[in-house]
């Protein structure tokens, strides 16, 4: 019988070899234990990788349309459980209900999409220089893929890694983040019910510091896909490449929205607020810098402050902005507030924890706005991962572009303008993997490439869309002279 609070290895729900579990708590009510999950050890990681290695050949030989059918059946199962998955996501990660529901819907759509794409897999036929040679390519799975996913999108990111990996015929080991693994295990349960063969997917929960070496370096692992913090991701990249693995990482961001002199301040403030305060600022694509032309800066700040102060903060089930995921994340955000004040930025909204019965002892923080920020301040350079927006005033469009690019990251960037020439220049000159015009920095489509540049990504393979399939495949060329 399925027990999705256990590990899932070789088609069985099993307890970890350590005999230990870890409690996941509701970030809105930290005294509430939502569930207990396995605290796995290195031996569990080895068992999962070996199960994947044993299953890889049979799955690779399964016709792609049949693999796609299983993914589509998984999508339909998730759809039937959409409400309960949303409830679990809110309880473990803390998102506001519309955000949590949207994320669950994205996971469903991802499985539908890649389930359909599986039927298109194959290769291409090319003209040969020889009359008797049939020249063509074929696409084969990489083999065994390790997927390491973060807590901030605990069902969407596992889905957009799992679905293309499985569609292309790979066996998989998934390690979801320890803070919110429940919805990833629910996806696993749906795949099992859809008929995924034993061993094709294996899931272990527990700390990356314990499991990481085996998941990344084991001889049977062929590819590693990681999404998470820059510090950990860069270490994973070095470790995986040193071990000869194919590797893909998507890391942090310090995402700007440039507000030009032609922009409407109220419209721009709404766009920036949606990008910076949505998901409690806990998105790698969240807007954390508003780079604003001096002609509209005062009006923009006034509008942004109004929006920040209007946001209803409380438990995600019935409030506009939920908590941060943990006490550690809340403490980190509040430390950045202190740093910004110490460096001379002007706190114009928020900056603390809200009062009231609704927030109780939860990990809540006020939507925060700083003005008078310069580009060399830490608040303008380092990823905060909370609902904190730094407003940087500039004199012209050239300065705005220079400031926007004056960071180590390059994930998402947007511009708010009524000048089409400025929009075109922004697309040409901004250093970011995702570029938006008159839109918030957050939110991406599932059928187009996603990824960053500079320290936001390994800049190897992109995720999602057709490019999301390429990471998990190897193309071979056949010269058929039979």
Q: What are phi and psi of 343, to 5 degrees?
A: -85, -5
**In whole angstroms, what is the distance from residue 418 CA to residue 421 CA?**
9
Q: Cα–Cα distances in Å, from 50 out to 37, 78, 173, 221, 372?
A: 22, 28, 10, 9, 55
The residue from 186, 284, 371, 432 that is catalytic is 284
Six-digit token pair at 178?
């320890």
Q: Active site includes 284?
A: yes
Catalytic residue numbers read: 284
């Amino acid at each position: 019988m399925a027990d999705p609070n256990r590990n899932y290895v070789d088609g069985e729900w099993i307890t970890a070899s350590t005999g230990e579990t870890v409690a996941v708590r509701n970030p809105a009510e930290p005294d509430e234990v939502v569930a207990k999950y396995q605290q796995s050890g290195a031996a569990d990681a080895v068992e999962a990788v070996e199960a994947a290695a044993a299953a890889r050949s049979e799955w690779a030989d399964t016709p792609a349309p049949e693999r796609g059918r299983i993914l589509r059946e998984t999508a339909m199962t998730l759809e039937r459980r959409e409400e309960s998955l949303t409830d679990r996501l809110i309880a473990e990660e803390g998102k506001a209900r519309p955000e949590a529901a949207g994320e669950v819907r994205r996971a469903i759509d991802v499985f539908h999409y890649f389930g359909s794409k599986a039927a298109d897999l194959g290769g291409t036929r090319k003209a040969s220089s020889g009359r008797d040679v049939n020249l063509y390519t074929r696409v084969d799975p990489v083999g065994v893929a390790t997927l390491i996913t973060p807590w901030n999108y605990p069902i969407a990111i596992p889905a957009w890694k799992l679905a293309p990996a499985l569609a292309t015929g790979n066996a998989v080991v998934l390690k979801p983040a320890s803070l919110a693994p429940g919805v990833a295990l629910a996806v696993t349960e749906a795949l099992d019910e859809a008929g995924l063969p034993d061993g094709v997917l294996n899931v272990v929960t527990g700390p990356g510091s314990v499991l990481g070496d085996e998941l990344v370096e084991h001889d049977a692992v062929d590819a590693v896909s990681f999404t998470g913090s820059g510090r950990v991701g860069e270490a994973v990249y070095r470790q995986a490449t040193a071990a000869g693995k194919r590797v893909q990482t998507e890391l942090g961001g310090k995402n700007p929205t440039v507000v030009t002199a032609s922009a409407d301040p109220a419209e721009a403030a709404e766009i920036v607020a949606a990008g910076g305060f949505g998901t409690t600022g806990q998105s790698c694509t969240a807007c954390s810098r508003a780079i604003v032309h001096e002609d509209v800066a005062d009006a923009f700040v006034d509008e942004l402050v109004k929006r920040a102060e209007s946001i209803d903060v409380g438990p995600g089930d019935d409030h506009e902005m939920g908590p941060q995921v943990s006490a550690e994340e809340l403490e980190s955000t509040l430390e950045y507030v202190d740093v910004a004040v110490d460096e001379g930025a002007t706190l114009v909204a928020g900056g603390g924890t809200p009062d009231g019965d609704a927030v109780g002892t939860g990990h809540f923080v006020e939507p925060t706005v700083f003005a008078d920020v310069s580009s060399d301040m830490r608040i303008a350079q380092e990823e905060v991962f909370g609902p904190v927006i730094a407003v940087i005033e500039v004199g012209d469009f050239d300065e705005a572009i220079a400031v926007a690019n004056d960071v180590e990251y390059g994930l998402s960037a947007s511009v708010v303008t009524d000048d089409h020439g400025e929009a075109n220049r922004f697309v040409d000159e901004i250093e970011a993997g995702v570029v938006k015009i008159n839109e918030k920095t957050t939110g991406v489509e599932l059928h187009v490439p996603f990824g960053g540049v500079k320290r936001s990504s390994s800049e190897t393979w992109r995720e999602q869309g057709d490019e999301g399939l390429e990471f998990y495949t190897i193309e071979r060329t056949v010269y058929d002279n039979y």
